[in-house]
Amino acid sequence: MQLFETMKIDNGHIPRLTYHTNRIKCSSERLNFKFDEHAWRNELNDVTTKYHSGQYRLKIVLNAESKFETIVSPLPEKSSFTAKFQVLPKVVNPTFIKNKTTERKHLAHNHETDLILLTSEDGKVLEFDIGNIVIEEDGKWYTPSYKDDFLKGCMRDYLIDSDKLVEKDFNKNELIYKYHNNEIRLFLINSLREVADVHLCL
C-alpha cells in the first residue's frame, strides 16, 4: 500500500498545496509512514520548475520507506462527466476510505459512466470515485457531512474554509427526486478539475 496525492500544475504553480501537504502528512502519521517534508518540497520544486508553462496532472506516490515517485501527464480537457450510483460496502477497511491510498478496490466500476456516486447502505450520498460532490440547491452549494465515511478532498476543504460550501446530507431517493425535478444541479470537485458538471444516469 502507498499514499498519493493528485494535484494540478498551473504554469508552475500548485493550487491548494498546503491542503495537499497537510493531508498526506496526516495520513502518513496515521499509517506509520515516514514523511520527509523537506524531500516532499524538493520534489515539488523540481517538478514545478520543469513544468513551468501550461497545465498538467501531477501524481506523487509515497511508500512506507519515504520514497517519492512523481508522475506528470497532460491535463485532458473535460468539463462534464456522467455518473451512476454505487453502494459502498460496509466491509471496506476504513483506512482505505479515509486516506488516499493505492488500495482502491472499493472504487472499482465497469465505466458505463465516467464516475460512480457512492452511497452508504442506508442511502446517504457520499462522494464520487475521483472527488467530492457538490449539490447546488436554491443558489447555494452543499456537500455531505463528514463522518469518517469518505475521503475529504482538498478542494472540498478549501471551499468550506472559504465559506463557499456548506455541509448538508442528502439521501439517495431525495437526490433522485430533486434531480428529476430540476431542483438541484450536481458537480464534481477535486483539485485537478476544480469544479465540473455531472449528469446523473438513472
Tens digits of pLDDT across the chain (202 residues): 999 999 999 999 999 999 999 999 999 999 999 999 999 999 999 999 999 999 999 999 999 888 999 999 999 889 999 999 999 988 999 999 999 999 999 999 999 999 999 999 999 999 999 999 999 999 999 999 999 999 999 999 999 999 999 999 999 999 999 999 999 999 999 999 999 999 999 9
Across 18-161, the runs of DSSP E, i.e. the strands, are 55-62, 68-74, 80-87, 115-119, 125-128, 132-137, 140-143
Q: Do residues 32 and 119 share a domain?
A: no
In the chain, how many domains are there?
2
What pLDDT sits at residue 84? Answer: 98
Tell me: do 62 and 16 sit in the same domain: yes
**H/E element holding 26?**
helix 17-30
Planar angle of CA 48, 28, 147, nearest 5 degrees: 105
Q: Answer yes or no: do 160 and 194 share one domain.
A: yes
In the block, residue with C-alpha cell 498546503: 18
CATH code of 32's domain = 3.30.470.10
Residue 171's domain comprises 80-200
CATH of the domain at 190: 3.20.10.10
Of 74, 97, 123, at which residue does a domain stop?
Answer: 74
Looking at 74, 102, 127, which one is the last position of a domain? 74
Which pLDDT score is estimated for 90?
Answer: 87
Identify whether residues 93 and 135 lie together within a single domain: yes
The Cα 23–Cα 196 span in angstroms is 22
Quote the cell numbers at residue 162: 472559504
How far apart CA 134 and CA 127 sit, in angstroms, is 9
Distance CA 20, CA 45 (A): 15
Place of cell 438513472: 202
The verdict on 159 and 89 lying in the same domain is yes
Q: What is the pLDDT of residue 76?
A: 86
Last residue of a domain, one of 36, 57, 74: 74
**Do 68 and 108 belong together in one domain?**
no
- Residues 54 and 37 grouped into a single domain: yes
Are 164 and 126 found together in one domain? yes
Together in a domain, 69 and 137: no
Closest CA to 119 of 91, 86, 90, 94: 86
Amino acid 112: pLDDT? 97
- DSSP code at position 6: E
Give yes or no: residues 154 and 136 share one domain.
yes
Write down the pLDDT at residue 107. 97
The answer on 88 and 69 residing in a single domain is no
